[in-house]
């Protein structure tokens, strides 16, 4: 689904990502782990070109999604981001109703009929495992929801435009353990339909939910393997030291 080929990213003089070569399998969960500042979030945001507007940013190499370069002249960023949804560390619902949060994306892409929007809103909230909690209060202000509900609402908002890929940047870091558990259960269910790439500092979380894991250090991919193999028998000593340090 996603192929990263000889990717280098620079912020001015800072070489943030160094010759990244990775393939993310379709309908699976890939975790990106590593210390703060290692390039995890930069890689995630480069996959849907969220960093394009940053001054002095330069990208070399390529990212291929479904055999199409995301840097091709024919690729429009708004359509790329429709296919590649993103959920951030802090829940960021729009300051509007639950319904309008979900309907925003479909409306933006030309869907205006209320019956069709109603179906998208319900299906998206169901897919994000929050429908039963909010179905009787769709006009309620989204910011009145709990943190965990807001994050699931943001996942539903991303799903409403029917993406192929879901990027999750520390999406449970600000949540309580119960909300984190609900999100993890949701993510494992969503991989049946979506390709998921998640950044996490929580190695136990990566072990619980991901199929494969990439360990990044100083902008480089040190090791990429099935999660069970990387956590039980890491090949590189730096990977072993990081895992032992976090679990130890």
β-strands 195-199, 165-169 pairing: parallel
For residue 174, pLDDT over 90 is answered with no
Please say if the pLDDT value at position 51 is more than 60. yes
Percent of the chain residues past pLDDT 90, beyond the cut: 90
Round to whole Å and give the CA distance between 155 and 117.
17
Cα–Cα dist 62/80, whole Å: 14
Q: How many CA atoms lie within 13 A of 148 on its CB side?
A: 15
pLDDT value at residue 1: 83
Question: Average pLDDT, stretch 198-203?
Answer: 95
DSSP secondary structure code for residue 1 in this structure: -
Instruction: Give the Cα separation of 176 and 183 in Å (integer).
Output: 11
CA distance 198 to 113: 34
What is the value of pTM for the model shown? 0.93
Whether the pLDDT of residue 121 is over 60: the answer is yes
What CA–CA distance (Å, rounded) separates 220 from 32?
12
pLDDT of residue 105: 94
What pairing do the DSSP bridges indicate for beta strands 84-87 and 68-69? unpaired
Confidence of residue 197 (pLDDT cuts 50, 70, 90): very high
Task: Tell me if residue 248 falls in helix, strand or coil.
Answer: coil
Spell out the domain ranges in the chain.
Answer: 2-243
Can you tell me the distance from the alpha carbon of 66 to that of 141, in angstroms, rounded to the nearest whole number?
37
- Sequence-separated (6 or more) residues with CB below 8 Å from residue 77: 49, 52
User: Residue 55: its pLDDT value, please?
Assistant: 83
Cβ atoms 214, 30 nearer than 8 A: yes
Q: How far apart are CA 157 and CA 85, in angstroms?
A: 9
Q: What is the largest CA-CA distance in the chain?
A: 57
Look over the chain and give the mean of its residue pLDDT values, rounded to a whole number.
94
Give the pLDDT score at 12.
92
Q: Tell me: the pLDDT tens digits for 70-92?
A: 999 899 998 899 999 999 999 99
- Of 35, 76, 71, the C-alpha closest to 219 is 35
pLDDT, average across residues 89-101: 95
CA–CA dist 222, 164 (Å, integer):
27
Q: How far is CA 92 from CA 5, 56, 103, 147, 227, in A?
A: 31, 27, 15, 10, 30
> Alpha-carbon distance 108 to 120, whole Å?
13
pLDDT for 157 equals: 96
pLDDT above 70: residue 248: no
pLDDT value, residue 115: 96
Q: What average pLDDT does this structure show over 157-161? A: 95
**Statement: 2-243 belongs to CATH 3.60.70.12:** no
Radius of gyration (C-alpha) of the chain in whole angstroms: 18
54 CB neighbour count, 10 Å cutoff:
10
């Amino acid at each position: 689904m996603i192929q990263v080929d000889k990717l280098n990213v620079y912020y001015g003089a800072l070489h943030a990502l160094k010759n990244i070569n990775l393939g993310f399998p379709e309908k699976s969960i890939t975790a990106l782990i590593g210390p703060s500042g290692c390039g995890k979030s930069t890689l995630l945001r480069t996959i849907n070109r969220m960093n394009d507007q940053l001054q002095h940013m330069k990208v070399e190499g390529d990212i291929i999604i479904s055999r199409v370069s995301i840097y091709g002249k024919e690729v429009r960023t708004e359509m790329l981001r429709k296919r590649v949804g993103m959920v951030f560390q802090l829940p960021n619902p729009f300051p509007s109703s639950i319904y309008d949060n979900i309907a925003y994306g479909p409306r933006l892409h030309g869907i205006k009929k209320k019956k069709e929007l109603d179906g998208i809103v319900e299906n998206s909230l169901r897919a994000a495992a929050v429908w039963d909690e909010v179905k009787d209060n769709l006009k309620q202000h989204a910011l009145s929801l709990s943190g965990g509900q807001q994050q699931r609402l943001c996942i539903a908002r991303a799903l409403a435009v029917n993406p192929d890929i879901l990027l999750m940047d520390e999406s449970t870091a600000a949540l309580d353990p119960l909300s984190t558990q609900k999100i993890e259960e949701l993510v494992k269910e969503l991989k049946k339909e979506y390709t998921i790439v998640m950044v996490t500092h929580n190695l136990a979380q990566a072990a619980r939910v991901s199929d494969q894991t990439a360990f990044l250090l100083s902008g480089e991919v040190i090791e990429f393997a099935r999660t069970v193999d990387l956590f039980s028998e890491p090949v590189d000593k730096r990977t072993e030291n990081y895992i032992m340090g976090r679990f130890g």
